[in-house]
Amino acid sequence: MQYWLFKSEPSEYSIDDLRREQVDHWDGVRNHQARNMMRDQMKQGDLAFFYHSNCADTGIVGIMSIAREGYPDHTAFDPNDKHYDPKSDPDRPCWYMVDVRFERRLKRTITLRELKTHPELADMALVRKGNRLSIMPVTAQQWDLILGLESTKS
C-alpha cells in the first residue's frame, strides 16, 4: 500500500463534498508530475490525506482511499469545462484522474503550521518550501506520525 496527500481549496471541493458524494473522481490535475503519479503509481486501496489549502484553516482534514486507478480525465475534452485543454486528444489522452472514496474526517484539522514543527516531517513534500503540487506521496512513517497527531492538542 502507498500513501498520498491531495490538496484542494475547500471553496472548490472540500472533504464535506466528498463525504456527501462518498466516491468521486479527482479531475482537473494539470501538472505532469502529479498526473504521472495518478496514472502510473496509485493503486486501488491506497490511502490519502485530504488537505484543505488556501483557506483560513489550512491543513489535513480527512482520509480517503483510491477507489479506481488512473484513467483519462474527460474534463480535458469538454470545451465547456473549466479544466478543458484544447491540446488534449481522446485518442492519446494527456491528463488522467482517479476516483477517491471518503473514509473519514479527522477528529481535528492538523495544520500546516503544526506539521512544520515536527523535524521528522522536514523531508515531506508538503512542508518543504516552494512546493506547488496538488498531489504528493507520503511515506508510511510520515503517515503514522501524522495520524498520531490527530488525538493530541495542537
pLDDT in tens, 111-148: 999 999 999 999 999 998 777 789 999 999 999 999 99
DSSP, residue by residue, the chain: --EEEEEE-TTTS-HHHHHHHSEEEE-----HHHHHIIIII--TT-EEEEEE-SSTT-EEEEEEEEEEEEEE-GGGG-TTSTT--TT-BTTB---EEEEEEEEEEEEEEEEHHHHTT-GGGTTSTTTSTT---SEEEE-HHHHHHHHHHTTS--
Predicted confidence band of residue 109 (pLDDT cuts 50, 70, 90)? very high
What is the structure's pLDDT at 17?
97
Using DSSP bridges, classify how beta strands 135-138 and 96-111 pair: parallel, antiparallel or unpaired.
unpaired
The Cβ of residue 109 has, within 10 Å, a number of other Cβ atoms equal to 19
Q: Is the pLDDT of residue 67 over 80?
A: yes
Predicted confidence (pLDDT) per residue in 20-63, tens digit? 999 999 999 999 999 999 999 999 999 999 999 988 889 999 99
pLDDT at site 116: 94
Output the pLDDT for position 154. Answer: 60
Residues 87-106 have pLDDT tens digits of 988 899 999 999 999 999 99
**pLDDT at residue 9 tops 70:** yes
Distant-in-sequence, close-in-space partners of 120: CB < 8 Å, separation ≥ 6: 141, 142, 145
- The CATH architecture one would assign to domain 3-149 is Roll (3.10)
Q: Where are the domains of the chain?
A: 3-149
Q: Dihedral through CA 125, CA 31, CA 59, CA 42, nearest 10?
A: -80
Give the pLDDT band (50/70/90) at residue 151.
confident
